[in-house]
Structure 1
Protein backbone atom coordinates (compact mmCIF):
# COMPACT_ATOMS: atom_id res chain seq x y z
CA UNK A 1 0.00 0.00 0.00
CA UNK A 2 2.90 2.38 0.71
CA UNK A 3 3.85 2.41 -3.01
CA UNK A 4 0.46 3.80 -3.96
CA UNK A 5 0.89 7.55 -3.76
CA UNK A 6 -1.01 8.76 -6.82
CA UNK A 7 -3.34 7.43 -9.50
CA UNK A 8 -3.70 8.91 -12.97
CA UNK A 9 -7.13 8.19 -14.46
CA UNK A 10 -7.11 8.32 -18.26
CA UNK A 11 -10.51 9.20 -19.69
CA UNK A 12 -11.91 10.82 -22.79
CA UNK A 13 -10.15 9.96 -26.03
CA UNK A 14 -11.45 10.58 -29.52
CA UNK A 15 -13.65 7.52 -30.05
CA UNK A 16 -17.43 7.62 -30.35
CA UNK A 17 -17.52 6.52 -26.70
CA UNK A 18 -15.75 9.63 -25.41
CA UNK A 19 -18.68 10.87 -23.32
CA UNK A 20 -19.07 7.50 -21.57
CA UNK A 21 -15.34 7.42 -20.87
CA UNK A 22 -15.42 10.87 -19.29
CA UNK A 23 -18.33 9.85 -17.07
CA UNK A 24 -16.49 6.67 -16.04
CA UNK A 25 -13.37 8.68 -15.29
CA UNK A 26 -15.22 11.22 -13.17
CA UNK A 27 -16.96 8.54 -11.11
CA UNK A 28 -13.70 6.67 -10.47
CA UNK A 29 -11.63 9.80 -9.73
CA UNK A 30 -14.15 11.04 -7.17
CA UNK A 31 -14.26 7.64 -5.48
CA UNK A 32 -10.47 7.44 -5.21
CA UNK A 33 -10.30 10.92 -3.71
CA UNK A 34 -12.93 10.00 -1.14
CA UNK A 35 -10.68 7.09 -0.19
CA UNK A 36 -7.81 9.50 0.46
CA UNK A 37 -5.90 8.68 -2.74
CA UNK A 38 -4.32 11.47 -4.77
CA UNK A 39 -6.14 10.99 -8.08
CA UNK A 40 -6.03 13.10 -11.22
CA UNK A 41 -8.12 12.67 -14.35
CA UNK A 42 -6.79 13.64 -17.75
CA UNK A 43 -7.21 12.92 -21.43
CA UNK A 44 -4.76 11.05 -23.63
CA UNK A 45 -3.31 13.88 -25.68
CA UNK A 46 -0.03 15.17 -27.10
CA UNK A 47 1.33 16.07 -23.66
CA UNK A 48 0.68 12.69 -22.02
CA UNK A 49 4.09 11.13 -22.67
CA UNK A 50 5.93 14.25 -21.56
CA UNK A 51 3.94 14.44 -18.33
CA UNK A 52 4.40 10.73 -17.59
CA UNK A 53 8.15 11.16 -17.99
CA UNK A 54 8.40 14.34 -15.90
CA UNK A 55 6.01 13.39 -13.11
CA UNK A 56 5.07 9.70 -13.29
CA UNK A 57 2.13 8.58 -11.11
CA UNK A 58 2.30 5.43 -9.03
CA UNK A 59 -0.12 3.78 -11.45
CA UNK A 60 -2.33 4.60 -14.42
CA UNK A 61 -5.97 3.52 -14.50
CA UNK A 62 -7.08 3.63 -18.17
CA UNK A 63 -10.81 4.17 -18.68
CA UNK A 64 -10.66 4.99 -22.36
CA UNK A 65 -13.45 3.20 -24.22
CA UNK A 66 -13.58 2.23 -27.87
CA UNK A 67 -10.68 2.20 -30.32
CA UNK A 68 -7.25 3.17 -28.93
CA UNK A 69 -8.60 2.67 -25.41
CA UNK A 70 -9.55 -0.99 -25.65
CA UNK A 71 -7.70 -2.27 -28.73
CA UNK A 72 -4.32 -2.44 -27.00
CA UNK A 73 -2.96 0.89 -28.23
CA UNK A 74 -2.93 2.77 -24.93
CA UNK A 75 -1.48 -0.28 -23.16
CA UNK A 76 1.35 -0.47 -25.71
CA UNK A 77 2.08 3.19 -25.01
CA UNK A 78 2.05 2.65 -21.25
CA UNK A 79 4.37 -0.34 -21.67
CA UNK A 80 6.84 1.98 -23.43
CA UNK A 81 6.78 4.41 -20.51
CA UNK A 82 7.30 1.74 -17.85
CA UNK A 83 4.51 3.18 -15.69
CA UNK A 84 2.35 0.44 -14.05
CA UNK A 85 -1.24 0.30 -15.24
CA UNK A 86 -4.48 -1.43 -14.36
CA UNK A 87 -5.91 -3.86 -16.86
CA UNK A 88 -5.03 -6.40 -19.50
CA UNK A 89 -1.78 -6.33 -21.50
CA UNK A 90 -1.82 -5.18 -25.15
CA UNK A 91 -2.16 -8.58 -26.86
CA UNK A 92 -5.06 -9.58 -24.65
CA UNK A 93 -6.80 -6.27 -25.32
CA UNK A 94 -6.50 -6.79 -29.06
CA UNK A 95 -7.96 -10.28 -28.81
CA UNK A 96 -10.93 -9.13 -26.72
CA UNK A 97 -11.67 -5.98 -28.73
CA UNK A 98 -11.94 -7.81 -32.04
CA UNK A 99 -15.23 -9.67 -31.77
CA UNK A 100 -14.49 -12.53 -34.22
CA UNK A 101 -11.10 -13.17 -32.59
CA UNK A 102 -12.68 -13.25 -29.15
CA UNK A 103 -15.45 -15.58 -30.31
CA UNK A 104 -12.84 -17.97 -31.71
CA UNK A 105 -11.04 -17.96 -28.36
CA UNK A 106 -14.30 -18.71 -26.55
CA UNK A 107 -15.03 -21.63 -28.88
CA UNK A 108 -11.54 -23.08 -28.40
CA UNK A 109 -12.13 -22.94 -24.65
CA UNK A 110 -15.35 -24.91 -25.05
CA UNK A 111 -17.61 -21.94 -24.30
CA UNK A 112 -20.87 -21.22 -26.11
CA UNK A 113 -21.14 -18.14 -28.32
CA UNK A 114 -23.71 -17.35 -31.03
CA UNK A 115 -22.84 -18.44 -34.57
CA UNK A 116 -21.75 -15.49 -36.70
CA UNK A 117 -20.13 -14.43 -39.95
CA UNK A 118 -17.82 -11.44 -40.42
CA UNK A 119 -17.72 -9.59 -43.72
CA UNK A 120 -16.00 -6.42 -45.00
CA UNK A 121 -17.86 -3.65 -46.75
CA UNK A 122 -15.89 -4.41 -49.93
CA UNK A 123 -17.43 -7.89 -50.14
CA UNK A 124 -20.94 -6.45 -50.40
CA UNK A 125 -19.73 -4.10 -53.13
CA UNK A 126 -17.78 -6.68 -55.14
CA UNK A 127 -20.15 -9.65 -54.83
CA UNK A 128 -23.46 -7.84 -54.72
CA UNK A 129 -25.23 -7.02 -51.48
CA UNK A 130 -28.46 -8.81 -52.39
CA UNK A 131 -26.79 -12.10 -53.29
CA UNK A 132 -24.48 -12.03 -50.28
CA UNK A 133 -27.21 -11.21 -47.75
CA UNK A 134 -29.31 -14.06 -49.16
CA UNK A 135 -26.52 -16.50 -48.34
CA UNK A 136 -26.11 -14.97 -44.88
CA UNK A 137 -29.81 -15.42 -44.15
CA UNK A 138 -29.74 -19.00 -45.47
CA UNK A 139 -26.86 -19.76 -43.11
CA UNK A 140 -27.93 -17.91 -39.96
CA UNK A 141 -31.68 -17.50 -40.26
CA UNK A 142 -33.65 -14.84 -38.41
CA UNK A 143 -33.64 -12.95 -36.10
CA UNK A 144 -30.11 -11.57 -36.17
CA UNK A 145 -27.90 -8.98 -34.59
CA UNK A 146 -25.69 -6.86 -36.84
CA UNK A 147 -22.68 -5.24 -35.16
CA UNK A 148 -19.48 -3.42 -36.06
CA UNK A 149 -16.57 -5.87 -35.96
CA UNK A 150 -15.13 -3.92 -33.03
CA UNK A 151 -16.48 -1.32 -30.64
CA UNK A 152 -18.65 -0.99 -27.57
CA UNK A 153 -21.65 0.69 -25.95
CA UNK A 154 -23.90 -1.00 -28.56
CA UNK A 155 -23.04 1.75 -31.06
CA UNK A 156 -23.97 0.65 -34.57
CA UNK A 157 -25.75 -2.48 -33.30
CA UNK A 158 -29.14 -3.41 -34.78
CA UNK A 159 -31.66 -6.17 -34.10
CA UNK A 160 -32.94 -7.62 -37.37
CA UNK A 161 -36.23 -9.50 -37.44
CA UNK A 162 -36.95 -9.41 -41.18
CA UNK A 163 -34.86 -9.61 -44.33
CA UNK A 164 -36.00 -6.12 -45.27
CA UNK A 165 -34.34 -4.68 -42.14
CA UNK A 166 -30.92 -6.15 -42.93
CA UNK A 167 -29.62 -3.57 -45.46
CA UNK A 168 -30.20 -0.62 -43.12
CA UNK A 169 -28.62 -2.53 -40.24
CA UNK A 170 -25.53 -3.16 -42.35
CA UNK A 171 -25.26 0.53 -43.22
CA UNK A 172 -25.53 1.44 -39.54
CA UNK A 173 -22.80 -0.98 -38.47
CA UNK A 174 -20.50 0.00 -41.34
CA UNK A 175 -20.70 3.57 -40.12
CA UNK A 176 -18.58 2.51 -37.15
CA UNK A 177 -16.24 -0.08 -38.70
CA UNK A 178 -15.44 -1.22 -42.26
CA UNK A 179 -16.37 -4.80 -41.33
CA UNK A 180 -19.57 -6.17 -39.83
CA UNK A 181 -20.32 -9.13 -37.63
CA UNK A 182 -23.70 -10.72 -38.32
CA UNK A 183 -24.74 -12.95 -35.44
CA UNK A 184 -27.59 -15.29 -34.62
CA UNK A 185 -29.92 -13.94 -31.96
CA UNK A 186 -30.09 -16.12 -28.87
CA UNK A 187 -33.32 -15.71 -26.95
CA UNK A 188 -33.17 -15.53 -23.18
CA UNK A 189 -32.13 -13.38 -20.24
CA UNK A 190 -29.40 -10.82 -20.84
CA UNK A 191 -26.78 -10.63 -18.10
CA UNK A 192 -23.44 -8.98 -17.42
CA UNK A 193 -20.90 -10.79 -15.25
CA UNK A 194 -18.04 -8.78 -13.78
CA UNK A 195 -14.75 -10.54 -13.07
CA UNK A 196 -12.12 -9.21 -10.70
CA UNK A 197 -8.71 -10.58 -9.76
CA UNK A 198 -9.03 -11.09 -6.02
CA UNK A 199 -6.05 -12.48 -4.11
CA UNK A 200 -4.45 -13.24 -7.45
CA UNK A 201 -7.36 -15.26 -8.84
CA UNK A 202 -10.06 -14.14 -11.29
CA UNK A 203 -13.35 -14.22 -9.41
CA UNK A 204 -16.86 -13.72 -10.75
CA UNK A 205 -19.07 -11.16 -9.03
CA UNK A 206 -22.84 -11.65 -8.91
CA UNK A 207 -24.40 -11.54 -12.36
CA UNK A 208 -26.42 -8.43 -13.17
CA UNK A 209 -29.65 -9.03 -15.07
CA UNK A 210 -30.53 -6.39 -17.66
CA UNK A 211 -34.24 -5.68 -17.86
CA UNK A 212 -35.11 -3.13 -20.53
CA UNK A 213 -37.73 -2.48 -23.19
CA UNK A 214 -36.29 -3.23 -26.61
CA UNK A 215 -32.59 -3.21 -27.41
CA UNK A 216 -30.07 -2.57 -24.64
CA UNK A 217 -28.60 0.26 -26.68
CA UNK A 218 -26.56 3.36 -25.85
CA UNK A 219 -29.48 5.25 -24.33
CA UNK A 220 -30.67 2.25 -22.33
CA UNK A 221 -27.16 1.79 -20.94
CA UNK A 222 -26.42 5.33 -19.89
CA UNK A 223 -29.76 7.02 -19.19
CA UNK A 224 -30.70 6.77 -15.53
CA UNK A 225 -33.96 4.87 -15.13
CA UNK A 226 -34.09 3.60 -18.72
CA UNK A 227 -33.09 0.09 -17.64
CA UNK A 228 -33.85 -1.94 -14.55
CA UNK A 229 -30.90 -3.90 -13.21
CA UNK A 230 -31.46 -6.94 -11.01
CA UNK A 231 -28.39 -7.74 -8.96
CA UNK A 232 -27.93 -10.51 -8.29
CA UNK A 233 -29.70 -11.70 -11.42
CA UNK A 234 -32.93 -13.63 -11.01
CA UNK A 235 -31.34 -16.96 -11.88
CA UNK A 236 -31.42 -20.40 -10.35
CA UNK A 237 -28.36 -20.84 -8.12
CA UNK A 238 -26.93 -23.53 -10.39
CA UNK A 239 -27.29 -21.36 -13.49
CA UNK A 240 -25.88 -18.32 -11.67
CA UNK A 241 -22.82 -20.39 -10.74
CA UNK A 242 -22.46 -21.50 -14.36
CA UNK A 243 -22.61 -17.88 -15.54
CA UNK A 244 -19.78 -17.06 -13.15
CA UNK A 245 -17.74 -20.03 -14.34
CA UNK A 246 -18.21 -19.01 -17.98
CA UNK A 247 -17.16 -15.40 -17.29
CA UNK A 248 -13.99 -16.51 -15.50
CA UNK A 249 -13.23 -18.98 -18.31
CA UNK A 250 -13.64 -16.17 -20.87
CA UNK A 251 -11.33 -13.93 -18.81
CA UNK A 252 -8.71 -16.67 -18.79
CA UNK A 253 -9.18 -17.63 -22.46
CA UNK A 254 -8.37 -14.07 -23.54
CA UNK A 255 -5.42 -13.70 -21.15
CA UNK A 256 -6.99 -10.82 -19.24
CA UNK A 257 -6.01 -9.49 -15.84
CA UNK A 258 -7.34 -7.32 -13.01
CA UNK A 259 -10.88 -6.89 -14.35
CA UNK A 260 -13.27 -7.68 -17.17
CA UNK A 261 -16.99 -7.88 -17.88
CA UNK A 262 -18.61 -10.63 -19.90
CA UNK A 263 -21.99 -10.01 -21.52
CA UNK A 264 -24.07 -13.11 -22.12
CA UNK A 265 -27.51 -14.56 -22.77
CA UNK A 266 -28.96 -17.29 -20.56
CA UNK A 267 -31.41 -19.43 -22.50
CA UNK A 268 -34.59 -20.81 -20.93
CA UNK A 269 -32.77 -24.15 -20.75
CA UNK A 270 -29.95 -22.64 -18.69
CA UNK A 271 -27.22 -22.44 -21.35
CA UNK A 272 -24.90 -19.43 -21.10
CA UNK A 273 -23.93 -17.95 -24.48
CA UNK A 274 -21.18 -15.31 -24.45
CA UNK A 275 -21.77 -12.20 -26.54
CA UNK A 276 -18.47 -10.46 -25.76
CA UNK A 277 -15.96 -9.73 -23.03
CA UNK A 278 -14.94 -6.15 -22.28
CA UNK A 279 -11.45 -5.24 -21.02
CA UNK A 280 -12.41 -1.71 -19.93
CA UNK A 281 -15.88 -2.02 -18.38
CA UNK A 282 -17.87 1.16 -17.99
CA UNK A 283 -17.62 2.66 -14.52
CA UNK A 284 -20.42 5.20 -14.72
CA UNK A 285 -23.13 5.31 -12.07
CA UNK A 286 -25.42 3.26 -14.34
CA UNK A 287 -22.76 0.73 -15.41
CA UNK A 288 -23.13 -2.90 -14.44
CA UNK A 289 -19.61 -3.29 -12.97
CA UNK A 290 -20.17 -0.94 -10.00
CA UNK A 291 -23.63 -2.49 -9.55
CA UNK A 292 -22.05 -5.95 -9.30
CA UNK A 293 -19.45 -4.70 -6.82
CA UNK A 294 -22.19 -3.35 -4.59
CA UNK A 295 -24.12 -6.63 -4.81
CA UNK A 296 -20.97 -8.50 -3.76
CA UNK A 297 -20.50 -6.20 -0.77
CA UNK A 298 -17.40 -4.40 -2.05
CA UNK A 299 -16.81 -0.73 -1.43
CA UNK A 300 -16.20 0.88 -4.83
CA UNK A 301 -13.31 3.08 -3.70
CA UNK A 302 -11.62 0.29 -1.73
CA UNK A 303 -11.90 -2.01 -4.72
CA UNK A 304 -10.29 0.56 -7.03
CA UNK A 305 -7.50 1.13 -4.54
CA UNK A 306 -6.92 -2.61 -4.43
CA UNK A 307 -6.70 -2.83 -8.22
CA UNK A 308 -4.19 0.02 -8.29
CA UNK A 309 -2.06 -1.63 -5.63
CA UNK A 310 -2.22 -4.95 -7.44
CA UNK A 311 -1.07 -3.33 -10.68
CA UNK A 312 1.99 -1.91 -8.92
CA UNK A 313 2.92 -5.21 -7.31
CA UNK A 314 2.60 -7.21 -10.57
CA UNK A 315 4.36 -4.77 -12.91
Structure 2
Protein backbone atom coordinates (compact mmCIF):
# COMPACT_ATOMS: atom_id res chain seq x y z
CA UNK A 1 0.00 0.00 0.00
CA UNK A 2 1.50 3.32 -1.07
CA UNK A 3 1.06 5.83 1.76
CA UNK A 4 3.10 8.03 4.08
CA UNK A 5 5.07 6.30 6.83
CA UNK A 6 3.00 7.90 9.60
CA UNK A 7 0.45 10.69 9.33
CA UNK A 8 -1.75 11.94 12.18
CA UNK A 9 -5.21 13.43 11.64
CA UNK A 10 -7.65 14.70 14.22
CA UNK A 11 -10.33 17.33 14.57
CA UNK A 12 -12.25 19.34 17.16
CA UNK A 13 -15.79 20.63 16.77
CA UNK A 14 -16.29 24.42 16.99
CA UNK A 15 -19.23 24.33 19.37
CA UNK A 16 -17.91 26.71 22.01
CA UNK A 17 -16.63 26.63 25.60
CA UNK A 18 -13.51 24.52 25.16
CA UNK A 19 -12.68 23.07 28.55
CA UNK A 20 -10.13 21.04 30.48
CA UNK A 21 -11.52 17.79 29.06
CA UNK A 22 -10.86 19.00 25.50
CA UNK A 23 -7.35 20.01 26.49
CA UNK A 24 -6.31 16.85 28.33
CA UNK A 25 -8.28 14.47 26.14
CA UNK A 26 -7.21 15.91 22.80
CA UNK A 27 -5.28 19.16 22.35
CA UNK A 28 -2.44 18.41 24.79
CA UNK A 29 -1.92 15.14 22.95
CA UNK A 30 -1.90 16.99 19.62
CA UNK A 31 0.95 19.17 20.87
CA UNK A 32 3.00 16.13 21.90
CA UNK A 33 2.45 14.31 18.60
CA UNK A 34 3.71 17.22 16.48
CA UNK A 35 7.25 16.75 17.78
CA UNK A 36 8.14 13.85 15.52
CA UNK A 37 5.18 13.17 13.20
CA UNK A 38 3.35 14.74 10.28
CA UNK A 39 0.16 16.17 11.79
CA UNK A 40 -3.07 17.54 10.31
CA UNK A 41 -5.42 19.24 12.78
CA UNK A 42 -8.87 20.27 11.63
CA UNK A 43 -11.65 22.44 13.04
CA UNK A 44 -14.58 20.27 11.95
CA UNK A 45 -17.25 22.86 11.20
CA UNK A 46 -19.16 20.52 8.86
CA UNK A 47 -19.66 18.15 11.79
CA UNK A 48 -20.84 21.02 13.97
CA UNK A 49 -23.84 21.77 11.74
CA UNK A 50 -25.32 18.26 12.19
CA UNK A 51 -27.27 20.22 14.81
CA UNK A 52 -28.33 23.81 14.15
CA UNK A 53 -25.68 26.46 14.82
CA UNK A 54 -26.06 30.21 14.93
CA UNK A 55 -23.93 31.41 11.97
CA UNK A 56 -22.19 34.19 13.89
CA UNK A 57 -21.45 31.85 16.79
CA UNK A 58 -20.13 29.17 14.42
CA UNK A 59 -17.62 31.64 12.96
CA UNK A 60 -16.57 32.79 16.42
CA UNK A 61 -16.21 29.25 17.74
CA UNK A 62 -14.19 28.19 14.69
CA UNK A 63 -11.70 30.96 15.43
CA UNK A 64 -11.76 30.12 19.13
CA UNK A 65 -10.77 26.49 18.54
CA UNK A 66 -8.00 27.65 16.22
CA UNK A 67 -6.81 30.07 18.90
CA UNK A 68 -6.83 27.22 21.43
CA UNK A 69 -4.70 25.06 19.13
CA UNK A 70 -2.10 27.81 18.83
CA UNK A 71 -2.25 28.88 22.49
CA UNK A 72 -1.71 25.29 23.64
CA UNK A 73 1.43 25.00 21.52
CA UNK A 74 0.49 23.63 18.09
CA UNK A 75 2.75 25.15 15.44
CA UNK A 76 0.67 25.99 12.33
CA UNK A 77 3.81 26.28 10.19
CA UNK A 78 5.10 22.80 10.99
CA UNK A 79 1.61 21.24 10.96
CA UNK A 80 -1.52 21.80 8.89
CA UNK A 81 -4.25 23.64 10.81
CA UNK A 82 -7.46 24.47 8.93
CA UNK A 83 -11.25 24.34 9.06
CA UNK A 84 -12.98 21.47 7.32
CA UNK A 85 -15.42 23.41 5.13
CA UNK A 86 -12.57 25.12 3.24
CA UNK A 87 -11.55 21.76 1.71
CA UNK A 88 -14.37 20.42 -0.47
CA UNK A 89 -12.79 16.96 -0.58
CA UNK A 90 -14.27 16.18 2.85
CA UNK A 91 -17.83 16.40 1.57
CA UNK A 92 -16.96 14.82 -1.78
CA UNK A 93 -15.27 11.77 -0.27
CA UNK A 94 -17.99 11.65 2.38
CA UNK A 95 -20.59 10.99 -0.31
CA UNK A 96 -18.53 8.26 -1.96
CA UNK A 97 -18.00 6.58 1.41
CA UNK A 98 -21.74 6.85 2.14
CA UNK A 99 -22.12 4.55 -0.83
CA UNK A 100 -19.56 2.12 0.63
CA UNK A 101 -20.79 2.09 4.24
CA UNK A 102 -23.75 -0.12 5.21
CA UNK A 103 -26.90 0.99 7.03
CA UNK A 104 -26.42 -1.79 9.58
CA UNK A 105 -23.01 -0.38 10.52
CA UNK A 106 -24.40 3.11 11.12
CA UNK A 107 -27.39 1.77 13.04
CA UNK A 108 -24.99 0.31 15.58
CA UNK A 109 -23.32 3.66 16.39
CA UNK A 110 -24.04 4.25 20.07
CA UNK A 111 -23.23 7.97 19.96
CA UNK A 112 -26.03 8.56 17.43
CA UNK A 113 -28.47 6.72 19.67
CA UNK A 114 -27.44 8.83 22.65
CA UNK A 115 -27.64 12.15 20.78
CA UNK A 116 -30.86 11.37 18.92
CA UNK A 117 -32.63 9.98 21.99
CA UNK A 118 -36.25 8.97 21.48
CA UNK A 119 -36.91 11.50 18.70
CA UNK A 120 -34.84 9.89 15.93
CA UNK A 121 -37.31 10.81 13.20
CA UNK A 122 -36.69 14.50 13.90
CA UNK A 123 -32.88 14.68 13.87
CA UNK A 124 -30.86 15.61 10.81
CA UNK A 125 -29.65 13.04 8.30
CA UNK A 126 -26.22 14.56 8.90
CA UNK A 127 -26.29 13.41 12.52
CA UNK A 128 -26.90 9.84 11.34
CA UNK A 129 -24.15 9.93 8.68
CA UNK A 130 -21.72 11.85 10.92
CA UNK A 131 -19.47 8.75 11.33
CA UNK A 132 -19.13 8.39 7.55
CA UNK A 133 -17.99 11.99 7.23
CA UNK A 134 -15.55 11.35 10.07
CA UNK A 135 -14.19 8.41 8.07
CA UNK A 136 -13.84 10.70 5.06
CA UNK A 137 -11.96 13.28 7.16
CA UNK A 138 -9.39 10.65 8.12
CA UNK A 139 -9.13 8.76 4.84
CA UNK A 140 -8.97 11.92 2.71
CA UNK A 141 -5.44 12.34 4.06
CA UNK A 142 -4.80 8.58 4.24
CA UNK A 143 -3.94 9.07 7.89
CA UNK A 144 -2.25 6.16 9.61
CA UNK A 145 -3.11 7.18 13.18
CA UNK A 146 -5.80 9.19 14.96
CA UNK A 147 -5.63 10.31 18.61
CA UNK A 148 -9.08 9.52 19.99
CA UNK A 149 -10.88 9.27 23.30
CA UNK A 150 -12.62 6.10 24.39
CA UNK A 151 -15.96 7.48 23.16
CA UNK A 152 -14.66 7.78 19.59
CA UNK A 153 -13.16 4.29 19.28
CA UNK A 154 -16.33 2.91 17.70
CA UNK A 155 -16.22 5.58 14.97
CA UNK A 156 -12.61 4.74 14.20
CA UNK A 157 -13.50 1.06 13.97
CA UNK A 158 -16.16 2.06 11.43
CA UNK A 159 -13.51 4.02 9.51
CA UNK A 160 -11.40 0.86 9.32
CA UNK A 161 -14.41 -1.17 8.15
CA UNK A 162 -15.17 1.36 5.41
CA UNK A 163 -11.53 1.48 4.30
CA UNK A 164 -11.35 -2.33 4.18
CA UNK A 165 -14.59 -2.59 2.19
CA UNK A 166 -13.41 0.04 -0.29
CA UNK A 167 -10.08 -1.75 -0.69
CA UNK A 168 -11.90 -5.08 -1.22
CA UNK A 169 -14.68 -3.80 -3.50
CA UNK A 170 -12.27 -2.00 -5.81
CA UNK A 171 -9.22 -4.25 -5.44
CA UNK A 172 -8.66 -4.81 -9.20
CA UNK A 173 -8.91 -1.08 -9.99
CA UNK A 174 -6.71 -0.16 -7.04
CA UNK A 175 -4.00 -2.49 -8.35
CA UNK A 176 -4.52 -1.31 -11.92
CA UNK A 177 -3.99 2.29 -10.80
CA UNK A 178 -0.68 1.42 -9.20
CA UNK A 179 -1.68 1.37 -5.52
CA UNK A 180 -0.77 -2.21 -4.65
CA UNK A 181 -3.18 -4.30 -2.61
CA UNK A 182 -5.06 -1.44 -0.92
CA UNK A 183 -5.55 2.28 -1.29
CA UNK A 184 -6.74 3.37 2.15
CA UNK A 185 -4.75 2.47 5.28
CA UNK A 186 -6.50 0.77 8.20
CA UNK A 187 -6.05 3.70 10.56
CA UNK A 188 -4.92 2.92 14.10
CA UNK A 189 -6.12 4.71 17.26
CA UNK A 190 -3.75 6.51 19.60
CA UNK A 191 -5.16 6.40 23.13
CA UNK A 192 -2.81 7.41 25.90
CA UNK A 193 -2.50 9.35 29.13
CA UNK A 194 -3.95 9.13 32.63
CA UNK A 195 -6.87 11.50 31.95
CA UNK A 196 -8.01 10.84 28.40
CA UNK A 197 -11.60 10.90 29.72
CA UNK A 198 -12.08 13.83 32.09
CA UNK A 199 -15.22 13.78 34.18
CA UNK A 200 -17.44 16.54 35.56
CA UNK A 201 -16.21 18.36 38.65
CA UNK A 202 -19.73 18.00 40.09
CA UNK A 203 -20.41 14.35 39.19
CA UNK A 204 -17.64 11.81 38.64
CA UNK A 205 -20.01 9.57 36.67
CA UNK A 206 -20.54 12.15 33.89
CA UNK A 207 -18.06 13.28 31.27
CA UNK A 208 -16.98 16.93 31.50
CA UNK A 209 -19.18 18.77 28.99
CA UNK A 210 -19.92 22.27 27.79
CA UNK A 211 -23.64 21.39 27.78
CA UNK A 212 -23.76 20.81 31.54
CA UNK A 213 -25.92 23.59 33.07
CA UNK A 214 -23.48 24.37 35.90
CA UNK A 215 -20.32 26.20 34.86
CA UNK A 216 -18.74 24.73 38.00
CA UNK A 217 -18.82 21.30 36.35
CA UNK A 218 -15.90 22.24 34.10
CA UNK A 219 -12.80 24.40 33.81
CA UNK A 220 -13.00 26.43 30.61
CA UNK A 221 -9.76 27.15 28.77
CA UNK A 222 -10.64 30.85 28.90
CA UNK A 223 -11.15 30.88 32.71
CA UNK A 224 -8.86 33.21 34.65
CA UNK A 225 -6.84 32.17 37.71
CA UNK A 226 -9.59 33.08 40.20
CA UNK A 227 -12.22 31.08 38.31
CA UNK A 228 -9.95 28.05 38.02
CA UNK A 229 -9.11 28.15 41.74
CA UNK A 230 -12.76 28.54 42.76
CA UNK A 231 -13.89 25.62 40.61
CA UNK A 232 -11.17 23.28 41.88
CA UNK A 233 -11.94 24.16 45.50
CA UNK A 234 -15.65 23.53 44.96
CA UNK A 235 -15.12 20.27 43.03
CA UNK A 236 -17.05 17.37 44.54
CA UNK A 237 -15.03 14.90 46.62
CA UNK A 238 -15.73 12.50 49.47
CA UNK A 239 -14.86 12.61 53.19
CA UNK A 240 -12.04 10.05 53.08
CA UNK A 241 -8.35 11.00 52.68
CA UNK A 242 -6.54 10.00 49.51
CA UNK A 243 -5.23 6.42 49.48
CA UNK A 244 -1.58 5.60 48.84
CA UNK A 245 -2.35 3.03 46.14
CA UNK A 246 -4.62 2.93 43.08
CA UNK A 247 -6.64 0.04 44.50
CA UNK A 248 -8.01 2.41 47.12
CA UNK A 249 -9.64 4.59 44.44
CA UNK A 250 -12.31 2.02 43.55
CA UNK A 251 -15.82 3.33 44.13
CA UNK A 252 -14.55 6.90 44.45
CA UNK A 253 -15.16 8.46 40.99
CA UNK A 254 -14.75 12.12 42.01
CA UNK A 255 -11.47 11.45 43.80
CA UNK A 256 -10.24 9.36 40.89
CA UNK A 257 -11.12 12.16 38.46
CA UNK A 258 -9.16 14.81 40.38
CA UNK A 259 -6.15 12.53 40.73
CA UNK A 260 -6.29 11.82 37.00
CA UNK A 261 -6.42 15.54 36.21
CA UNK A 262 -3.41 16.19 38.46
CA UNK A 263 -1.50 13.34 36.81
CA UNK A 264 -2.26 14.55 33.28
CA UNK A 265 -1.39 18.19 34.00
CA UNK A 266 1.90 17.20 35.64
CA UNK A 267 2.81 14.56 33.00
CA UNK A 268 2.97 11.76 35.54
CA UNK A 269 0.80 8.81 36.61
CA UNK A 270 -2.01 8.38 39.11
CA UNK A 271 0.22 6.00 41.04
CA UNK A 272 2.89 8.69 41.39
CA UNK A 273 0.32 11.27 42.53
CA UNK A 274 -0.98 8.90 45.19
CA UNK A 275 2.55 8.19 46.41
CA UNK A 276 2.97 11.94 46.98
CA UNK A 277 -0.47 12.66 48.44
CA UNK A 278 -1.53 9.35 49.98
CA UNK A 279 -3.09 9.96 53.39
CA UNK A 280 -3.62 13.67 52.68
CA UNK A 281 -6.95 15.39 53.15
CA UNK A 282 -8.58 16.84 50.05
CA UNK A 283 -8.01 20.40 51.26
CA UNK A 284 -4.25 19.94 50.90
CA UNK A 285 -4.55 18.07 47.62
CA UNK A 286 -6.89 20.67 46.13
CA UNK A 287 -4.51 23.47 47.10
CA UNK A 288 -1.76 21.74 45.12
CA UNK A 289 -4.16 21.09 42.23
CA UNK A 290 -5.15 24.78 42.17
CA UNK A 291 -1.51 25.85 41.93
CA UNK A 292 -0.80 23.32 39.17
CA UNK A 293 -3.97 24.11 37.19
CA UNK A 294 -3.42 27.87 37.27
CA UNK A 295 0.22 27.53 36.22
CA UNK A 296 -0.66 25.26 33.28
CA UNK A 297 -3.97 26.72 32.10
CA UNK A 298 -3.63 30.41 32.95
CA UNK A 299 -1.17 31.20 30.13
CA UNK A 300 -3.32 29.29 27.64
CA UNK A 301 -6.39 31.37 28.45
CA UNK A 302 -4.44 34.62 28.24
CA UNK A 303 -2.96 33.71 24.85
CA UNK A 304 -6.37 32.64 23.53
CA UNK A 305 -7.79 36.03 24.49
CA UNK A 306 -4.91 37.79 22.72
CA UNK A 307 -5.36 35.75 19.54
CA UNK A 308 -9.13 36.20 19.52
CA UNK A 309 -8.52 39.95 19.53
CA UNK A 310 -6.98 39.63 16.05
CA UNK A 311 -9.39 37.47 13.99
CA UNK A 312 -7.64 38.37 10.71
CA UNK A 313 -4.49 36.56 11.85
CA UNK A 314 -6.52 33.46 12.77
CA UNK A 315 -8.23 33.53 9.37
CA UNK A 316 -4.82 33.75 7.69
CA UNK A 317 -3.68 30.63 9.55
CA UNK A 318 -6.80 28.75 8.46
CA UNK A 319 -6.44 29.91 4.85
CA UNK A 320 -2.81 28.80 4.67
CA UNK A 321 -3.64 25.46 6.28
CA UNK A 322 -6.54 24.86 3.91
CA UNK A 323 -4.34 25.51 0.89
CA UNK A 324 -1.78 22.98 2.12
CA UNK A 325 -4.50 20.46 3.03
CA UNK A 326 -6.02 20.72 -0.46
CA UNK A 327 -2.76 19.56 -2.04
CA UNK A 328 -3.13 16.21 -0.26
CA UNK A 329 -6.92 16.04 -0.46
CA UNK A 330 -7.14 16.79 -4.18
CA UNK A 331 -4.73 13.98 -4.98
CA UNK A 332 -6.83 11.54 -2.95
CA UNK A 333 -10.01 12.63 -4.73
CA UNK A 334 -8.35 12.17 -8.13
CA UNK A 335 -7.15 8.71 -7.14
CA UNK A 336 -10.54 7.68 -5.74
CA UNK A 337 -12.40 8.87 -8.84
CA UNK A 338 -10.07 6.85 -11.03
CA UNK A 339 -10.50 3.79 -8.82
CA UNK A 340 -14.29 4.08 -8.67
CA UNK A 341 -14.53 4.65 -12.43
CA UNK A 342 -15.56 8.29 -12.72
CA UNK A 343 -14.63 10.29 -15.81
CA UNK A 344 -12.62 13.40 -14.97
CA UNK A 345 -10.96 15.98 -17.17
Q: Give the structure with the higher percent helix.
A: 2
Task: State the TM-score, normalized to the length of structure 1.
Answer: 0.26
Task: State the TM-score, normalized to the length of structure 2.
Answer: 0.24
When Rg is computed on C-alpha atoms for both structures, the one with the higher figure is 2
